[in-house]
Chains A and B, each alone.
Chain A
Amino acid sequence: MTAPSRIPSGSRSTPVSTASYEPDTGTFEGAYLSPARMAAVLGAMAALLAVTMIVAVAYGTVRIDLYRALTQPATSDHAILFSARLPRVLMGAVVGAILAAVGAALQALVRNPLAEGGILGISGGGALGAILALTVGYRLGGGPVAIVPLCAFAMALLSTLAVYRLAQVNGRLEPFSLLLIGVIFNAFWGALILLVNALVDLYQVHSIIAWLMGSLEAPTYYQVALVAAMGLGGFAALFIRARDMNLLSLGDDAAADLGVSIEAVRRTIFIATSLMIGAAVSVSGIINFVGLIVPHILRLALGADHRLLLPASVLGGAALLVAADLIARIVIAPAELPVGVITALCGGPFFIYLLRREERRSLVT
């Protein structure tokens, strides 16, 4: 059912599956996305995520007894599990899911596997928005917590629109000018974050490293719920456009010929991804490369259909970030690394590999 035969192993030019077809039942096994295949893949990935989360909850700098933690509320094991590990693992899952889904949608938008919220500078814009909100909110003596992610959303959207506009050459989106503009925006937002930090001492609110490197320390359940709600809203908007994203990969003109309203799809992707990035960034800072790696690997393994790729990215991104955060917590125990260090260490080389490969292949045929 899951059609592992689709995975191009090694050489990309080998025929992947000679679809067996029975005209009576009308099945091309594995050559297209059937509801059964989708359910099987997502079920398997959900199981993988569940296992990852259980492992991540069970292990950490302090050894705890899971059974005692679950059965005896008075123990320190219980306290560690429910007030430290669980919210952190949940937040890791939510943020990872958001980053990967956003990556998949942005890649569909620009028709290029090199796109991602972090690389395009959108996360940086969001992080600056969050920091500005924290600064002002802090000065004003607090305020509703949702102000922070909403400001992050606004700045992320501004950043998205700016990058998208500036990367257009004669009305066409140039992949490499897009990457270049993204790099510039990244540096620009990073500098502004440092500037704001220098003017206003933010250390009491959040460590500056956490904003620039990305970290998942000590979220509250309220924060988890808020970010999850925003993420879910954005994901729903993207998922409704999944088939349009498929058509978009044929080119804007061809997609329009097939009934896609290009402007409406773009608008949805801009707003939904900015909302999601804003939510993620406001609690975790800039975590790079998850949105790049996850959709790319899943596309190779599962095919390019966004109706599967988007939800699969959610599950895969969640599992990856939870696992990366587990490593960040235990690798230099008792100290902790920001999780962004782990994703950047793995993602940097991967990005270079992708870039090299894309340079060799012509991008959009």
Chain B
Amino acid sequence: MNKNEVDNIINGFLVEEFEIEEDLVQPDATWDDIGIDSLDFVDIVVIIEKEFGFKLTGEDMVDVRTLGQFHEFIYNRHLSNK
């Protein structure tokens, strides 16, 4: 899976599952910008496990503030899990 495919999966579930407007799903968008709160993160953990086979923790997310950073983090974890 390349970086683009990872980004598409993440953006896809944010639009489909979380019903976030497609226009808002931009790399520089913060979690606040797209309306994702701490409860939503609980669901994101479940989806990431299903899609990529690894488990996110709270500590993983400490420095992840934008969607672009999240894409990067998930892609790197995906690579290291291979």
Answer yes or no: do A and B interact.
no
State the B residues within 8 Å of A (CB). none
